[in-house]
Amino acid sequence: MNKQTANDREEILSVVNKARWDLGVNFHDTVIESIYADASKIARKTVHQKGDKEAYSLDIKIDKIVTSRWLGFPLMFLILALVFWITVAGANYPSGLLASLLIDYMHPILKSGAAAIHLPWWLDGVLIDGAYLAMAWVIAVMLPPMAIFFPLFTLMEDLGYLPRVAFNMDNLFRRAGAHGKQALTMSMGFGCNAAGVVAARVIDSPRERLVAIITNNFSLCNGRWPTQILIASIFIGGLVPASFAGIVSAGAVVGVAVLGIFFSLVVSWGLSKSVLKGEASAFSLELPPYRPPRIWQTLYTSLIDRTIFVLWRAIVFAVPAGIVIWVVANVKIDGISLAEHFIDWSNPFAFVFGLNGVILLAYIIAIPANEIVIPTVLMLTVLSSKLAGMGSGTGVMFELDSTADTAAVLKAGGWTLLTGINLMLFSLLHNPCSTTIVTIYKETKSLKWTLVSTFLPIALGLIVCFFTTQIWFLLQ
C-alpha cells in the first residue's frame, strides 16, 4: 500500500467518524425502529390472525368494493356512464359556441370575401364549402369532448382506479387469450382510437399488443358518440313516451358500447386461436395506493399530449376529405352528381344490409373523421332526395339544430327504424378513421396488420347488419 492510499483511507475514516458523532448515538436505533415500524404496519394490513380485529385501511375498504366480484362490474359501467354523460353534456355548450363561431359566423364571411375578390365558383366551393367546412366540423365537434374526456380519464388513472379496471377485466381478457392490460387500451379507445392504439405500448408481448391494436376500433370513440346519441334519440327514443325517451335512448347507446366490448373479447379470442395463436402471458399487477390526482399536471398533459396532438392529426386528414366531399357532390356527369351516381348504384347492395347508398358513401368519404359523418349524411340525403330549402346549398355539409328537423330529413330520405338500428351497429363496426389507420401502421410497421385492422371491422359490420335485417323481415 503506498503512502497516498493510506492518507486517503485515513481521511475517509475521519469523515465517517465525524459524521457518526454528528448523527448522534441513537441513529442506528432510530433506523432499526423505523424499519420495524414499517414492517409492522404492512403486516397489520396484510396478515389477519383469527381473533384479531382487522386493521383499518381505507384503501383495503375501497378495493373490497371496486374489485368485488358482484359490485366491481356494475360500478365500472356506472363510472363509465358517468364519464360519458359528463363528456357529452359538458361538450354540448362549447361545441355549440365553436359551431356558431366557425360555421355560422366565419363561413359567411369567407364566402363574402371570396365573392368580393371574384374567386371562381369551383375554387370557392373546394376551399370554403369543402376544406374549410370539414375542418370547422372536426374542430367544433371533436375538440370539446376530447378536452373533457382525456383529463377525466387521466384523473381516474392518477387516482388509481384504472389499474382496478384492469384487475376486474383481466380474467375476461385472459380467457380470450389477450392481455389484462388490454382493458386500459380499450378504455382509452373510448376517447380516441388513435390514442388507444398508442396506449397498447404498455403491453410487452408483441402478439398481445397486436391483438389489442386490432380490436381497439370496437371501443366507441368520441367521434361516434354524437351519431349514436342522435340516431338513438330519433329512432329508439321515439318508440316510447317522451318522459322515457331519454332513458331508453341512453340505454340503447350504452348497449351498443357494451356490444363493442363483447366484440372486442370475441375477436381477441378468435385471433388468439388462429392467426395470432398463443397463450396469454401472465403479468403481475401491483395495485397502487389511492392518491389525490395532480389536477394541473393532468390538465396540461391531457391537453398538449393527447387532445391537441389527436385534433391536429384529424384536421390534417379532414381538409383533403372536405375537398373530396365537395367534388363528389358537385361534379356532374350527364347532369347528375358523382355522389348521386354512386348512391343509385349502391342502393340495391346497401338495402340487403338494411342500410342505403347515402350511408355507404358517407362512411367512405368521411373516413378522416367520424365527426363529419352526420353532416355528410344530411347533405347527401338532401342531394339524392331532391329536398328543397334544406341546408346551406347544393353539396355543402350542414347540421340542424333541432333533432325533430333532422328526423324529418332522414325520414324523407326513406330512413326507417331498421335503418337507424343498422346505422348504430355499422357506426360501431366499420373501419377506423384515417388518423387511427395511420397510427396503426406507425405502431405495427406492417401493411398486412394495418389492412386487417381496417377491413375486419367492415366485414363484421356487414355480417351483423345482414343478419339483423333478415331477422327483422322474418319478424314482420
Q: Are 423 and 458 in contact (CB under 8 A)?
A: no
391: left (phi over 0), alpha (psi -120 to 50) or beta: left
Give Cα 108 to chain centroid, integer Å: 33
User: DSSP readout, 362-430?
Assistant: HHHHTTT-GGGHHHHHHHHHHHHHT-SS-SSSTT-----S-HHHHHHHHHHTT--HHHHHHHHHHHHSS
So where are the chain's domains?
319-475
User: DSSP readout, 29-72?
Assistant: HHHHHHHHHHHHHHHHHH---TTSPPPP-HHHHHHHHHT-TTTH
As a residue count, the chain comes to: 476
Provide the whole-model pTM. 0.77
User: DSSP readout, 198-240?
Assistant: HHGGG---HHHHHHHHHHGGGS--TTTHHHHHHHIIIIIGGGS
User: Which has the closest alpha carbon to 280: 271, 289, 288?
Assistant: 271
User: Which has the closest alpha carbon to 328: 340, 315, 318, 344?
Assistant: 340
Cα–Cα distances in Å, from 125 out to 6, 332, 342, 367, 400?
87, 14, 21, 20, 21
167's grid cell? 384487475
Q: Are 340 and 328 in contact (CB under 8 A)?
A: no
356's grid cell? 342505403
pLDDT tens, the chain, 476 aa long: 566 777 788 888 888 877 777 776 677 777 777 888 888 777 776 676 666 666 567 777 888 888 888 888 888 888 877 877 787 677 778 888 888 898 889 989 998 999 999 889 889 888 998 889 888 888 887 788 778 877 887 888 788 888 888 888 888 888 888 887 888 888 878 878 888 898 888 888 888 899 999 999 999 887 787 788 889 888 988 888 877 877 788 788 888 988 999 999 999 999 988 888 776 666 666 777 787 777 777 777 777 767 777 778 778 878 888 888 889 888 888 888 899 999 999 999 999 999 999 999 999 988 877 878 888 898 888 888 877 777 666 667 777 777 888 888 899 888 999 999 999 999 999 999 888 998 899 999 999 999 999 999 999 999 999 999 999 999 87
Maximum separation of any 2 CA atoms in the chain, in Å: 104
